[in-house]
C-alpha cells in the first residue's frame, strides 16, 4: 500500500490523537527540562522516573542522569500520552458538531487534567514511593495542567474545523 493510500484509509481522528498525545507529552517534557535545568540538573526528572520504573530504584537529585533510562522513559511517556490522546480524539471527532464554544475545550482540558493527575498519583503510590514528593506535587500538577490545556486546545481546534 502506498503512503497516499495509507493516509487516505487512516481516520483523521487517529492522527489528531497521536499529535495531541505527542503535544501533551512534549509540554510535560519541556516543563520538567526547564525545571531541572534551572535547578542545575538537566534531565534528572526523566532519569529518576526511568530508574523507578525500570530498575525499581530511587535516585537522589544530585545523581548524574543516564541516557538509556532517559530515552526509555521518554518512549513510555510518549506512548502513555498517545494512549490518552487517541481515544480523546475519537470522542471529540464524534461530538465535533456539538463543540461550538470554548467551554467545550475547558471541559476537555478538565477531563485530561483529572485523568493525568489520577494516573500519575496512583502510579506514584504503587511504583514510585517517595518520588512524587521529590518531584513536587505542585510541579506535577502544573505540568499536567499545561499538557491538558495544550491537548484540549489542539483537539478543540480540530473539532471546530470538522464542524
Q: Which of 116, 48, 35 is nearest to 81 (CA)?
A: 116
- Residue 148: domain span: 11-162
- Residue 4 lies inside a defined structural domain of this protein: no
Confidence at residue 104, expressed as pLDDT on a 0 to 100 scale: 67
Instruction: With beta carbons less than 8 A apart as the criterion, state whether 53 and 127 touch.
Output: yes
- Residue 2 lies inside a defined structural domain of this protein: no
Number of domains present in the structure of the chain: 1
For residues 45 and 94, give the distance between their C-alpha atoms in angstroms, rounded to a whole number. Answer: 36
- Residue 1 lies inside a defined structural domain of this protein: no
Confidence at residue 102, expressed as pLDDT on a 0 to 100 scale: 64
Highest-scoring range by mean pLDDT, 48-52, 79-83, 93-97: 79-83
Number of neighbours of residue 55 by Cβ within 10 angstroms: 10
What's the count of helices (H) and strands (E) in the chain, helices before strands?
A: 7, 0
Return the beta strands (E) in the chain as ranges.
none
Q: pTM for this one?
A: 0.82
Confidence at residue 94, expressed as pLDDT on a 0 to 100 scale: 75
Instruction: Retrieve residue 80's grid coordinates.
Output: 502513555
Q: Which of 37, 71, 41, 39 is nearest to 54 (CA)?
A: 71
Amino acid at each position: 500500500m502506498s503512503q497516499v493510500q495509507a493516509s487516505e484509509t487512516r481516520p483523521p481522528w487517529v492522527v489528531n490523537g497521536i499529535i495531541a498525545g505527542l503535544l501533551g507529552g512534549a509540554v510535560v517534557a519541556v516543563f520538567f527540562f526547564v525545571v531541572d535545568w534551572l535547578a542545575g540538573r538537566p534531565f534528572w526528572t526523566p532519569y529518576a522516573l526511568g530508574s523507578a520504573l525500570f530498575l525499581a530504584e530511587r535516585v537522589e537529585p544530585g545523581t548524574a542522569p543516564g541516557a538509556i533510562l532517559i530515552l526509555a522513559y521518554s518512549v513510555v511517556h510518549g506512548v502513555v500520552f498517545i494512549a490518552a490522546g487517541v481515544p480523546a480524539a475519537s470522542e471529540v471527532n464524534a461530538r465535533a458538531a456539538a463543540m461550538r464554544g470554548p467551554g467545550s475545550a475547558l471541559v476537555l482540558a478538565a477531563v485530561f487534567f483529572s485523568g493525568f493527575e489520577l494516573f500519575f498519583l496512583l502510579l506514584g503510590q504503587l511504583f514510585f514511593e517517595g518520588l512524587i514528593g521529590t518531584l513536587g506535587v505542585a510541579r506535577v500538577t502544573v505540568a499536567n495542567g499545561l499538557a491538558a490545556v495544550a491537548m484540549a486546545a489542539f483537539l478543540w481546534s480540530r473539532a471546530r474545523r470538522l464542524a
